[in-house]
């Protein structure tokens, strides 16, 4: 009888052990983000939660994910993940493939419910480039992560609040500094700065790159030059991730200088929590100089 009781005790101890082990294991979650700005936002939302591991799927050099094709390695990474943080608004053309091949993967849509700008191709996905959009995406990531991983819901909410406070301070600083530039006309490279221009009340006269990502033809370039000569354009803004020979031609023809603004699509691969804010502060310094 005593022996049986002893055995029972051991069994109970064992099962208790295994229960603890399993729950610990199921606590650990890997979150994959599709690209850099979401990676930085998610690092902030999941800060100081040891059970949560954040991995960025694409290399910083991939820039914006227009036309990005998933590799076999990407699919492998995704098959091991619990959650995928996507930008949404049509940026990730590969989402159908992901949900068909890994139906169990939970997907966060960082742009859910946010007001989207439209262009000829439909929704403009560059929501994160305005600080307002980055704040909305941070809140979306925290809310949707909390619904998926209830255990850490409070930490996600607290972290998001803290990060949003920093973003709001940045936003206030930018609005103060750029007050003088309201209504100024600029030329941009592709559609990435539309949200930014709207937030800070800058007018984009046109974009240098054509809709399918090509350099303008000689005729189009001549039209652009004429448009710029007819209006007072403050500056042309390019992006460090893309090189465009046409921009040099426009500067040469019109005398309007060009500057590089970073749409925060690339940066340090390891966990840099302040990357978005640092890059935007650099952009602010450039804008101040370019629009004066
Ligand atoms: Zn883009």
**Domain termination site, one of 133, 156, 174:** 174
Residue 3 in any domain: the answer is: no
Phi, psi of 103 (to 5 degrees): -65, -20
Q: Report the alpha-carbon distance of residue 142 to residue 225 in Å, rounded.
A: 45
Centre of ligand 1 from the C-alpha of residue 191, in Å: 6
Range of the domain at 73: 28-174
What confidence tens digit (pLDDT) does each residue in 123-169 have? Answer: 999 999 999 999 999 999 999 999 999 999 999 999 999 999 999 99
CB atoms within 10 A of CB 11: 10
Centre of ligand 1 from the C-alpha of residue 2, in Å: 72
Centre of ligand 1 from the C-alpha of residue 259, in Å: 17
Residues 196 and 152 in one domain: no
CB atoms within 10 A of CB 116: 17
Centre of ligand 1 from the C-alpha of residue 126, in Å: 6
User: H helices within the chain, ranges in order?
Assistant: 2-27, 36-45, 72-79, 95-101, 131-148, 153-177, 194-199, 218-230, 245-254, 275-291
Q: Which residues surround ligand 1, an ion (CB under 5 A)?
A: 64, 192
Q: Report the alpha-carbon distance of residue 225 to residue 162 in Å, rounded.
A: 46
Centre of ligand 1 from the C-alpha of residue 171, in Å: 22
Residues 136 and 197 in one domain: no
Task: Taking each helix axis as running N to C, give the angle between helix 153-177 and helix 36-45, from 0 to 180 degrees, rounded to the nearest 10.
Answer: 120
Quick one: pLDDT band at residue 26, thresholds 50, 70, 90? low
Residue 32 in any domain: the answer is: yes
CA-angle at 205, arms to 201 and 210, nearest 5°: 125
Centre of ligand 1 from the C-alpha of residue 21, in Å: 44
Interstrand relation of 233-238 and 122-123 (parallel, antiparallel or unpaired)? unpaired
What confidence tens digit (pLDDT) does each residue in 188-227 have? Answer: 998 899 999 999 999 999 999 876 778 999 999 999 999 9
pTM, two decimals, is 0.89
Centre of ligand 1 from the C-alpha of residue 230, in Å: 28
Predicted pLDDT of residue 188: 95
**Domain termination site, one of 154, 174, 194:** 174
What confidence tens digit (pLDDT) does each residue in 166-190 have? Answer: 999 999 999 999 999 999 999 999 8
Residues 35 and 163 in one domain: yes
**Domain termination site, one of 174, 199, 220:** 174
Residues 160 and 229 in one domain: no
Residues 36 and 169 in one domain: yes
Residues 115 and 228 in one domain: no
Centre of ligand 1 from the C-alpha of residue 124, in Å: 9
Q: Which residue has the tokens 């994959």?
A: 32
- Is pLDDT above 50 for 11? no
Centre of ligand 1 from the C-alpha of residue 12, in Å: 57
Work out how many domains the chain is built from and give that number: 2
Centre of ligand 1 from the C-alpha of residue 225, in Å: 24
Centre of ligand 1 from the C-alpha of residue 100, in Å: 25
């Amino acid at each position: 009888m005593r022996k049986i009781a002893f055995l029972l005790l051991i069994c109970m101890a064992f099962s208790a052990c295994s229960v603890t082990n399993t729950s610990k294991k199921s606590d650990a979650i890997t979150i994959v983000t599709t690209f850099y700005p979401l990676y930085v936002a998610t690092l902030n939302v999941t800060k100081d939660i040891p059970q949560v591991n954040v991995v960025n799927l694409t290399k910083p050099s991939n820039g914006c994910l227009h036309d990005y094709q998933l590799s076999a390695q990407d699919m492998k990474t995704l098959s091991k993940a619990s959650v995928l943080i996507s930008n949404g608004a049509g940026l990730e053309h590969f989402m159908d493939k992901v949900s068909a091949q890994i139906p169990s993967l939970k997907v966060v849509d960082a742009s859910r419910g946010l007001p989207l700008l439209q262009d000829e191709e439909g929704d403009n996905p560059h929501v994160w480039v305005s600080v307002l959009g980055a704040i909305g995406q941070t809140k979306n990531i925290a809310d949707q992560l909390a619904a998926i991983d209830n255990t850490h819901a409070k930490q996600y909410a607290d972290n998001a609040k803290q990060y949003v406070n920093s973003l709001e301070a940045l936003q206030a600083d930018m609005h103060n500094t750029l007050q003088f530039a309201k209504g100024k006309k600029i030329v941009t490279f592709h559609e990435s700065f539309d949200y930014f221009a709207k937030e800070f009340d800058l007018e984009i006269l046109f974009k240098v790159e054509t809709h399918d990502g090509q350099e303008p033809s000689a005729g189009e370039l001549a039209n652009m030059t004429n448009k710029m000569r007819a209006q007072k354009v403050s500056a042309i803004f390019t992006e460090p991730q893309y090189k465009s020979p046409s921009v040099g031609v426009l500067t040469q023809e019109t005398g309007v200088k060009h500057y590089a603004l970073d749409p925060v699509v690339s940066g340090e691969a390891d966990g840099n929590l302040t990357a978005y804010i640092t890059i935007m502060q650099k952009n602010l310094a450039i804008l101040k100089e370019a629009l004066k």
